[in-house]
Amino acid sequence: MTSRHRTEPRRRIGAIAAVCAVAALALTSCGSATGATTTGTEGATTQPPAAETSPTPSQPDPDTPTAWGPTLGELDDARSLVASWTPEQLAGQVIVGRWQGTDPAEAASMVSDLNLAGVQLTGANIVDEGQVRAVNEAVIAAFATSGRDFPPVIGVDQEGGAVSHLSGVTTELPAFAEAGRAVSTGGAGAQAVQAAMTAAALELRDLGFTWVFAPVADVTIGSADPTIGSRSPSTDPGIAGLTAVAAIRGYRDAGIVSTVKHFPGHGAATEDSHQTLPTLTESLGELQATDLRPFDVAIDAGAPAVMVGHLDVTALAPGVPSSLAPQTYDLLRGDYGFEGVAITDSLGMGAVMADPSPSVTALNAGADLLLMPADTRVAHEQVANAIASGELPRTRAEEAAARVIALQRWQQRVGVATPVPPDAAEQTAIRVQEMLAVGW
């Protein structure tokens, strides 16, 4: 697995540095050989040559981009910002809120009251295009009242096909399996998928969205898979990975944050995590050969965010939802080298209902962003109290919040540089038809 070797160069450099340090100590212990005053053959006193001063290591260029999008400077600025925040502010910045109804004021008040990172709009929150614009504008205004000078997370599940929460508002997208079909034809198919996702994302940005909870990278097993099905790009891990990468690149080109999901892979689960906790009994080696392969290539391609699913992965943490298990995040970051934002699947799903405080558990496990807790205000209180008491280390909360802020600064910067065209919807329709034509 290519990602397993990402940290090895750092280990080799460390070993070399250690050898050099030992050698230096040996030399300095040799007395007159390096440091003593000596007398020449004619009695003249000679001084040892002046020690050479090692050059000061240069500071990293703050404009250097990370593998997942933000620059080093954006990440450092975010860390400095949250260092002085209260537990309540930190708690809010790691939650994407669930809200009830369709009133823009309801979403806005929750964001301002709790200092939320943002909100997700689901089908139950959506009436029509005008109302969606009003909600997003209200959330942006409420977010700004806290003094935060970066955009909120305003996200939506807009995968295409059955999972299209903006159905009737934006251009209809086919199931993501159609994108996989296009990619399976070769390079032209991947280019067509990338172009279609760019167009679709620009249409989302026109409405005020900053995040899209897509693409799906799960490898479906077919009819035995009740949850993912045609949401998956393919039954072939290689095609699934290439399709996810094409979508990620398309979203990036449009200046929207994408979210590859559902790590470590939901396509082989035979139960629905919305209702219960599905079990995956495959060995880690089997998972690496199938379910995990698309995530590996997606991370290599610069995925900015990874959504962690709610699965009982017996090879990692038997009996524990993967979104709440430290072993999952260790795999994601340690083995696969992911450095971006790890976001949970919705914390209002049946798979995590047995935990009385899944938000705190997820953050302690390694999550950075909590998606739609069952009760947003209760979750905020639990997280704030956990930070204040030390149950959730403040350093962990700051790390999570800083990653989210840095990614939003990236979205802000790239969004400004990538204006939305006036014919965004028309362009989406054209690009989608081109993608479908390649697949057929």
The candidate with the shortest Cα–Cα distance to 90, out of 308, 388, 412, is 388
What is the DSSP code string of 364-387?
Answer: HHT-SBEE--SSHHHHHHHHHHHH
What is the DSSP code string of 202-254?
Answer: HHHHHHT--EE---B--B--STT-SSSGGGSSBSSHHHHHHHHHHHHHHHHHH
Q: How far is CA 241 from CA 160, 265, 432, in A?
A: 17, 12, 20
User: Of residues 274, 300, 335, 375, which has the active-site annotation?
Assistant: 274
Query: H or E segment at 402?
Result: helix 394-417
Q: How far is CA 35 from CA 22, 38, 47, 131, 413, in A?
A: 17, 9, 9, 78, 54
- Residue 274 annotated to the active site: yes
Tell me if residue 162 falls in helix, strand or coil. Answer: coil
In the DSSP assignment, the letter for residue 273 is T
Say if strands 257-258 and 279-280 run parallel, antiparallel, or are unpaired.
unpaired
User: Of residues 225, 296, 312, 345, which has the active-site annotation?
Assistant: 345
The candidate with the shortest Cα–Cα distance to 87, out of 422, 390, 322, 404, is 390
Number of alpha carbons in the 13 Å side-chain half-sphere of residue 256? 33
The candidate with the shortest Cα–Cα distance to 118, out of 134, 141, 101, is 141
- Residue 345 annotated to the active site: yes
Task: List active site positions.
Answer: 274, 345
